[in-house]
């Protein structure tokens, strides 16, 4: 059955809070029927920055051909707003499946699960997992190139960079697999492990398991999580960095982001320090460097974006590109150059 989704973002239709909605519209357009937010009208493009042909609707009735309700936001703390319960129950009553990436599993809610079982529909909690693998750092196929996106904060474009580079590498004929490590990436790719919801001892092992399972590909593009300098989530970041054994890093950076997301009294350290920290922690078994910088300039003017790109090139002597504004070519070249260099060594 083809998935035809209505995405629930009620009252939260902005690119930051509704990251999941934006990325599904961008990368799974063919599965998105509409976005449910009664406070909005027209198409999603203005509010979300994507979806010139995706309508906002104010009720499930207005999208009768949808067969799936996707929770399209990640509220702080992961709890579902009380007012959404009736929407979810309505969807289940209409025979729709429900997909959620919340930390609070909808399938564990007695009312939702009883309703779903009555209607014979599925509640899929994307973050649910039972990972129990310890990382062992053995069995790696060194001909498979492992590239990992890291960043200076949360929600700055690590996933988008990974997907865009995967597509560009495949378009150039290099068999590349996107390794999804978060809920949105998993919904796009169709597989992956939600690392932020794995028990802490097994996060590194889960990352390693994905690498081992997919290393028959030529290149793996491994989605980063959080940041080493975001103290709430840095452990997820480091477990992933150590577990995925990267050969090269793409450092993601958003222009105008100066404070740690959610901790306004904490400044993000200089990018040079973050780069050094990532390289130092990544190089635990073999040297691993940042090979390019992916700039997110969504909040910058074209002139500001160009100036910042030039400044970063000067400071770091690395390829720098906004994958949308400049295209991914320069970063793809950097990846292929690392591949060539490793084949020679």
- Residue 64 within binding range of a second copy, rule CB under 8 A: no
Per rule CB under 8 A, count of chain residues that contact a second copy = 45
Phi then psi dihedrals of residue 90, to 5 deg: -60, -45
Q: Which is nearer to a second copy, 5 or 207 (CB)?
A: 207
Closest CA to 157 of 306, 324, 271, 292: 324
Helix (H, G, I), strand (E, B) or coil at 339: helix
| Cβ-count burial 99-131 (b if 16+ within 10 Å, e if not) | bbbbbebbeebeebeebbeeeebebbbbbeeeb
Q: Which is nearer to a second copy, 41 or 283 (CB)?
A: 283
Least distance to a second copy from the beta carbon of 38, Å?
29
Q: Which of 16, 137, 311, 342 binds a second copy (CB under 8 A)?
A: 137
Site for a second copy in 176-205 (CB under 8 A): 195-201, 203-205
- Residue 118 within binding range of a second copy, rule CB under 8 A: no
Binding mask 246-285 for a second copy (x = CB under 8 A): ----------------xx-xx--x-------x--xx--xx
Least distance to a second copy from the beta carbon of 207, Å?
10
Q: Report the 10 Å Cβ neighbour count for 12.
A: 18
Q: Which is nearer to a second copy, 89 or 277 (CB)?
A: 277
Q: Which is nearer to a second copy, 66 or 203 (CB)?
A: 203
Q: Which stretch binds a second copy (CB under 8 A): 38-46, 87-95, 227-235, 337-345?
A: 227-235
Phi then psi dihedrals of residue 265, to 5 deg: -85, 5
Q: Which stretch binds a second copy (CB under 8 A): 41-49, 115-123, 233-241, 292-300?
A: 233-241
Q: Would you say 309 and 320 are in contact if contact means Cβ atoms under 8 Å apart?
A: yes
Round to the nearest angstrom and report the end-to-end CA distance of the chain: 48
Least distance to a second copy from the beta carbon of 319, Å?
27
Which residue has tokens 């996060």? Answer: 203
Q: Which of 55, 78, 93, 107 binds a second copy (CB under 8 A)?
A: 78
Q: Which of 243, 246, 248, 328 binds a second copy (CB under 8 A)?
A: 243
Q: Which is nearer to a second copy, 187 or 229 (CB)?
A: 229
Helix (H, G, I), strand (E, B) or coil at 175: coil
Least distance to a second copy from the beta carbon of 49, Å?
26
Nearest 10 degrees: Cα torsion 302, 308, 314, 319: -70
Closest CA to 54 of 74, 73, 37: 37
Q: Which is nearer to a second copy, 134 or 307 (CB)?
A: 134
Q: What tokens appear for 226 in the block?
A: 């959080």
Q: Which stretch binds a second copy (CB under 8 A): 14-22, 61-69, 231-239, 319-327?
A: 231-239
From its phi and psi, is residue 139 left (phi > 0), alpha (psi between -120 and 50) or beta? left
- Residue 81 within binding range of a second copy, rule CB under 8 A: no
Closest CA to 36 of 18, 23, 50: 18
Q: How far, CA to CA in Å, does 35 sit from each of 38, 47, 80, 104, 336?
A: 9, 11, 17, 22, 38
- The contact set with a second copy (CB under 8 A) reads 76-78, 103-104, 132, 134-138, 195-201, 203-205, 228-229, 231-240, 242-243, 262-263, 265-266, 269, 277, 280-281, 284-285
């Amino acid at each position: 059955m083809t998935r035809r989704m209505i995405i629930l973002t009620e009252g939260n239709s902005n690119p930051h809070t509704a990251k999941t909605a934006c990325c599904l519209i961008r990368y799974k357009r063919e599965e998105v029927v509409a976005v449910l937010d009664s406070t909005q009208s027209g198409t999603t493009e203005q509010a979300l920055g994507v979806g010139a042909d995706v309508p906002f609707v104010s009720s499930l009735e207005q999208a009768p051909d949808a067969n799936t309700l996707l929770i399209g936001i990640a509220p702080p703390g992961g709890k579902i707003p009380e007012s959404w319960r009736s929407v979810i129950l309505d969807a289940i009553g209409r025979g729709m499946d429900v997909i959620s990436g919340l930390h609070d599993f909808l399938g564990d809610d007695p009312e939702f699960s009883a309703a779903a079982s009555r209607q014979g529909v599925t509640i899929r909690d994307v973050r649910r997992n039972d990972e129990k693998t310890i990382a062992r750092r053995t069995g790696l196929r060194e001909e498979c190139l492992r590239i990992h996106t890291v960043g200076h904060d949360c929600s700055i474009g690590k996933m988008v960079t990974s997907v865009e580079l995967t597509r560009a590498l495949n378009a150039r004929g290099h068999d590349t697999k996107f390794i999804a490590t978060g809920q949105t990436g998993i919904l796009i790719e169709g597989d992956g492990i939600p690392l932020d919801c794995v028990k802490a001892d097994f996060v590194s092992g889960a990352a390693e398991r994905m690498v081992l399972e997919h290393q028959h590909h030529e290149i793996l593009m491994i989605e980063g999580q959080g940041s080493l300098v975001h103290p709430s989530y840095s452990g997820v970041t480091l477990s992933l960095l150590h577990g995925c054994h990267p050969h090269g890093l793409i450092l993601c950076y958003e222009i105008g982001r100066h404070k740690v997301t959610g901790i306004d009294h904490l400044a993000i350290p200089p990018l040079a320090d973050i780069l050094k920290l990532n390289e130092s922690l990544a190089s635990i078994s073999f040297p691993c460097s940042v090979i390019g910088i992916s700039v997110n300039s969504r909040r910058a003017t074209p002139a500001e974006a160009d100036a910042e790109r030039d400044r970063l090139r000067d400071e770091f002597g690395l390829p720098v590109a906004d994958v949308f504004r400049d295209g991914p070519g320069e970063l793809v070249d950097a990846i292929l150059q690392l591949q060539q260099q490793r084949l020679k060594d």
